[in-house]
Each structure stands twice: as structure tokens, then as C-alpha cells.
Amino acid sequence: MNKKKFYKLLMDLNPTEVGERVTNSLGQEIAFYEDPMNPAFCVIAACHQLQVAAHTEFFDTNNFGKDSEYNPVFIEGKLKCEYEL
């Protein structure tokens, strides 16, 4: 699904924000959400500035934080981790 469409669908469901927001190396503020349709599934990363969202490959937010190489980055419509840049 397109990341912008997924963002709109997600925000329409009023999801529960989890963990601390992080700012990645590109200056994108990333918020994390529980999947409202399947709370046991991977955490969702969303960037409100770009209005995009995608599932991460993580089940919690323990790996995200200041200067973490696992922080999500949205590039050209794809979700990547910092270490992939």
C-alpha cells in the first residue's frame, strides 16, 4: 500500500502512540504507533511532516532513540533504517 494512503488510513483510526518520538539524520520527526488492527504486529513509524507511515520490522521501540542506527528514515517513498543510508 502507498505510504501516504496508509498514513491517512492509520490517522483515521486514531492509533495509540507508543515510545518516544525520534528525529532522524534527515530531520524527519518519527512517531511510533501500535497497529490498531493488530496490536501484536510490528510497530508503525509515521512522519507527520511528510504524511507517510509504514510498518517497521520491530515489535517494540527499544531500538529507537537519539543517534540509533535503527531509527527509521523515509526516502523516496520507502522506509529504511539509518544504517542503510
Which domain does 67 fall in, by range? 3-84
Encoded amino acid at 18, one letter: V
Which tens digit of pLDDT belongs to each residue from 39-62?
Answer: 889 999 999 999 999 999 999 999
Residues 6+ apart with CB under 8 A from 77: 2, 3, 52
* HSE-CB of 16 using CA atoms within 13 angstroms: 10
Q: How confident is the model at residue 21 (pLDDT cuts 50, 70, 90)?
A: very high
CA distance 26 to 24: 5
- Residue 1: the pLDDT is 80
Say how many domains are in the chain. 1
Quote the pLDDT of residue 53: 98
Q: Is the pLDDT of residue 77 over 90?
A: no
Question: How sure is the predictor about 65, in pLDDT bands with cuts at 50, 70 and 90?
Answer: very high
pLDDT > 90? residue 15: yes
Check: pTM over 0.85? Answer yes or no. yes
H helices within the chain, ranges in order?
A: 3-12
List CB contacts of 27: < 8 A, sequence separation 6 or more. Answer: none
